[in-house]
Amino acid sequence: MKSMVSIIFLGLKDILKPKILAVLLLPFLGSIVLWSLITYFAWDWITGIGLQIYNFSIIQSFVQLIAPYVQFTSNPLVFVTTAVFLILIIFPAAMITALFITSVVLVPLLVSELRKSDFPTLIKKSTNMFTGTTISIGYSIKYFASWVGSLPFWILIPGGVIFIPYLLIAWFNSRLLTWEILAEIATPEDIKPFAEAHSKPLFILGLTTSILYYIPVINFIAPVIVSSVFTRYCLSHFSQFTKVEAP
């Protein structure tokens, strides 16, 4: 526990490095701009899908059910279209995009800076720049599918609307970031046993840091903070796990 707490504090300290501060808001802003543009240019198509969804009797019954409690500022069709698109597409896609930008831009910087300052003897064995990306795409698909597939349980399970997305993002962070970070220095053959041996503490770290996504203002830079903490953990424990040091 003490080690985990120190890792978190060191990770928070790492984001104060000048190169990291320079791109602190990039993942959040990049994700928001991208999906705002997609929504704007695809709105007619989205509305068409919303019309088809709205025609289902179960959706109309749901709208009638919440009508006494929700002040519709526009046509219920627009409300349903917006809600469905935000919940099913935008939220998980924006999260994936923010973490992808973080993994492409921030993670290499973080790994490079920490190797210079704290792990100078850690040998870089990775030669394939697409290893982490390939794994990340697989985890992103699983995350998106789990998000959509779990939606009924958000309503059926008390508190599900809060803790189910929380558990999903904690799992996603622990898997995606571990591979993205270690792919900068190691081969898949080295990463896989480490990820399996540390799956529990990595998930606990994901649970701890994913709280940041629920804190207003802090959530703007949450992907960077989470990545920094995971980078600190992975490099620290991977150097001990493999015992790979320069001669």
pLDDT at 118: 85
**Structural tokens at position 235:** 């490099």
Percent of the chain at pLDDT exceeding 70: 76
pLDDT at 211: 93
| DSSP output for 105-123 | IIHHHHHHHHHHHT-TTB-
Q: What share of the chain is helix, strand, coil (3-state, %, to 5)?
A: 80, 0, 20
Cα 167 to Cα 153: distance, rounded to the nearest angstrom: 13
Question: How much is the pTM?
Answer: 0.78
Give the pLDDT confidence of 76-93 residue by residue, as tens digits: 656 666 666 666 677 778
Tokens 């935000």 belong to: 86
For range 194-221, the mean pLDDT: 91
Single out the residue of 209, 148, 221, 149 nearest to residue 178, CA to CA.
209
Q: Is the pLDDT of residue 242 over 50?
A: yes
Burial of 215-239, coded b for 16+ CB within 10 Å and e otherwise, reads: eeeeebbbbbbbbbbbbbbbbbbbb
Higher-pLDDT residue of 121, 8 = 8
Q: Detail the DSSP E strand segments found in 59-196.
A: none
